[in-house]
Amino acid sequence: MTLADCKRSSPDLWFMPDESTKHRRTWMAFGPSEKIWGDLLPDIRTNLALLAKTILEFEPVTMLVRPEDRMIAAQLCGECVELIEAPLDDLWIRDTGPVFVVNSAGKLGAVDLNFNGWGTKQAHKNDAKVARFVAEKSGAAYMKSVLVGEGGGIEVDGHGTAILTESCFINKNRNPKLDNAECEQELKNLLGLRAIIWLPGVRGKDITDGHTDFYARFAGSGTILAGLESDRKSFDYRVTREHLNILQSARDADNRNLEVVTLESPRRIRRKLETKEFAAGYINYYVVNNGVIAPEFGDKQTDAHCKQMLAKLFPNRKVVQLNVDAIAAGGGGIHCATLHEPLPSPNNR
């Protein structure tokens, strides 16, 4: 089914709801391999199981798994995590899976952003098919975009405003022939957007080229939680301050000023699993039904501040912090390893 077909068959256009709306479930992928993860493989599998079991306290979890890894996934995750066999290259289902959309008639849609290994940086033959696979298993209307991108590069407030990084979408390794305006038009049509705030991001420094979900997240309509890098030697030090200036002067789809609050990165981390790609930031949290799941890095001061800030911004949700250093060692975070499937209803906007 094409996007045009879906528009003709739906009483309303599709739109991407905010992550804090009710979920039907969380999707994950038990997909790390020794070829990519090396000696970290046992640790990353343990981290994925810990994350899945924590999410289970709030909502159902469906985990994709290779047939040959099913037994170890079942042992680590327990019987309450639903396992579905599928070919996989890696675990980053936020990027490989579809972007879920809904309409006011209570229908669920799934947008395929044509995952290409973050600009052909990693083998992705199997992961390129995950979006369609998840769409079929969820019973969603499947829509294929003309864009190449990833779900981790899109942050929305559920009311027509999105934050994107140019380093991801306006990049020759993904959309070489598209400019901002053309990219905006496609995403507005697909996701029901009316305003897009562009952040520059950083190209070529990490495998994602600077995903939005490591820089800025909506914490309810009108409020943005922005990451602030504390290490002056980091490539993100300057750009996070540039992002802050942009966000503080931005307006949402209803032409309102936005409240911007910041979370500084940890000043120290546990060294056991430290790698060159280690992603030490708090912005990559995940909002679940009645909860928020966030990382902790062993810095008592910044870990505590993160928990206090999330508790303040999400007052009716339980904030749980996890040691997911193996996931961070692979250059990702909790949000990157999860994908929320919204529960469609006529009132979910």
Domains recognised in the chain with CATH numbers: 3-342 (3.75.10.10)
pLDDT at 85: 98
Q: Judge contact between 209 and 170, C-beta under 8 A.
A: no
Cα–Cα dist 147/124, whole Å: 17
CB 121 within 8 A of CB 111: no
CB neighbours of 297 closer than 8 A, spacing ≥ 6? Answer: 266, 268, 269, 270, 280, 303, 325, 328
- Give whole-number Cα distances, 19 to 24, 155, 301, 340, in Å: 12, 9, 27, 7
Query: Which amino acid, residue 168?
Result: C
Token output for 261: 């609050």
Residues 6+ apart with CB under 8 A from 312: none
Residue 75's Cβ-count burial label (10 Å; 0-12, 13-18, 19+) is exposed
Tokens of 70: 């099913």
pLDDT at site 174? 97
User: 143: which strand partners?
Assistant: 111
The set of residues, in sequence order, having a beta carbon less than 8 Å from that of 270 and lying 6+ positions away, is: 297, 298, 323, 325
Q: Give the H or E element holding residue 155.
A: strand 154-156
Residue type, 91: L
The gap from C-alpha 39 to its chain's centroid, in whole angstroms, comes to 25
Number of other residues whose CB lies within 10 A of the CB of residue 191: 22
Closest CA to 92 of 64, 72, 69: 64
CA distance linking residue 121 with residue 127, whole number of Å: 13
Q: Is 141 helix (H, G, I), strand (E, B) or coil?
A: strand
CA torsion through residues 84, 90, 92, 97, sign? negative
Check if 336 is active-site: yes
Rounded CA-CA distance 50/13 in Å is 37
Q: Which helix (H) or strand (E) holds 329?
A: helix 325-329
Q: In a 3-state reduction of DSSP, which class is residue 237?
A: helix
pLDDT of residue 225: 98
pTM above 0.75, yes or no: yes
**pLDDT by 10s per residue, the chain, length 349:** 444 444 444 456 899 999 999 999 999 999 999 999 999 999 999 999 999 999 999 999 999 999 999 999 999 999 999 999 999 999 999 999 999 999 988 999 999 999 999 999 999 999 999 999 999 999 999 999 999 999 999 999 999 999 999 999 999 999 999 999 999 999 999 999 999 999 999 999 999 999 999 999 999 889 999 999 988 989 999 999 999 999 999 999 999 999 999 999 999 999 899 898 899 999 999 999 999 999 999 999 999 999 999 999 999 999 999 999 999 999 999 999 999 999 987 655 5
| 272-329 pLDDT per residue, tens | 998 988 999 999 999 999 999 999 999 999 999 999 999 999 999 999 999 999 999 9
Listed in sequence order, the DSSP H helices in 149-265 are: 166-169, 180-191, 236-249
Of all helices (H) and strands (E), which one includes residue 100? strand 99-102
* Measured distance CA(100)–CA(10) in Å, rounded: 16
Catalytic residue among 168, 183, 306, 336: 336
The single-letter code of the amino acid at 318 is K
Residue pair 236/229 in contact (Cβ under 8 Å)? The answer is: yes
Q: What is the pLDDT of residues 228-257, one digit of tens each?
A: 998 898 999 999 999 999 999 999 999 999
Quickly list DSSP for 294-314.
EE--S-HHHHHHHHHHHHHHS
The tokens describing 52, both together, are 């899945």
